[in-house]
Amino acid sequence: MDTTQRGDQQKPADRRRRELLEAADRVVLRDGPGASMNAIAAEAGITKPILYRHFGDKGGLYAALAQRHTDALLVSLRAALDAPAERRERVEATLDTYLSAIEARPQVYRFLMHPAEGGAPGDTEFDVGRHSAPLLRRLGEELARVIEERLDLGPDGERVSRVWGHGIVGMMYAAGDWWLGERPCDRAELVRILADLLWGRLAAAGDRVGGPGF
């Protein structure tokens, strides 16, 4: 079989996988962490064994959904960071992008970040740390790359950028998780307060010469 034939066969499989992920999204929006493989298979109009054939198990489906939503979030975060605005405005826009994403689809957020809430008693397959930590780590590494590209942080810039990237993502996650559950203030106020917390060395750092800035 030549490369063209393999590519032609792959297209329907990729399309079918996207359709199944869209069906899973609909169920997750309805059921949150309690979304089951049975419900997702029913939504897609297939049997559960066929769903397993595509994703292996619920962990495989979780990983595919996590990548799908993380990819979309990263695109939005980069757009906020690259917007033609003052640095403080871009920092606030980046924070707001993350918070508005979890506010708009709280069931999806809970499925991705608190999957154990939907598990059976004693079920460790969906341990929160096991599944959410890689997602947060990916966001932290991506933000670290953006910071290093845009700010001149001196000879230890790479290390500082990685600390900042993971630290900011950790802050957004912890504050956003608490805020989504308790709603002690509106999103705009939370964004302002978090931006105030960040506005120290970040404000004083110089942009890289010839770079897009931050």
pLDDT digits (tens, 9 = 90+) for 58-114: 888 888 998 899 999 999 999 998 888 898 999 999 999 999 999 999 999 998 888
* Banded model confidence at residue 196, pLDDT cuts 50, 70, 90: very high
Taken as a whole, the chain contains a residue count of: 214
Tell me if 213 is assigned to some domain.
Answer: no
Mean pLDDT, all residues of the chain? 85
Number of domains making up the chain: 1
Tell me if 212 is assigned to some domain.
Answer: no
Residue 207 pLDDT? 78
Range of the domain at 84: 3-207
pLDDT tens for 32-42 read 988 889 999 99
Does 211 score more than 90 pLDDT? no
- Closest C-alpha to 194, from 181, 211, 175: 175
Residue 210 pLDDT? 66
Q: Give the list of residues 6+ apart from residue 187 with CB closer than 8 angstroms, or none.
A: 96, 99, 100, 103, 179
Residue 8 pLDDT? 40
Rg (the chain; Cα; Å): 20
Residue 132 pLDDT? 73
More confident residue, 129 or 106: 106
Q: Are 161 and 148 in contact (CB under 8 A)?
A: yes
Query: Percentage of the chain surpassing pLDDT 90?
Result: 53
Average pLDDT rounded to a whole number, residues 131-160: 89
Residue type, 115: P
CATH number at residue 44: 1.10.357.10
Instruction: For the chain, list the strands marked E by DSSP.
Output: 151-152, 206-207
Tell me if 60 is assigned to some domain.
Answer: yes
Tell me if 214 is assigned to some domain.
Answer: no
Does 192 score more than 80 pLDDT? yes
More confident residue, 117 or 74: 74
Tell me if 149 is assigned to some domain.
Answer: yes
122: left (phi over 0), alpha (psi -120 to 50) or beta: left
Model's pTM, two decimal places?
0.80
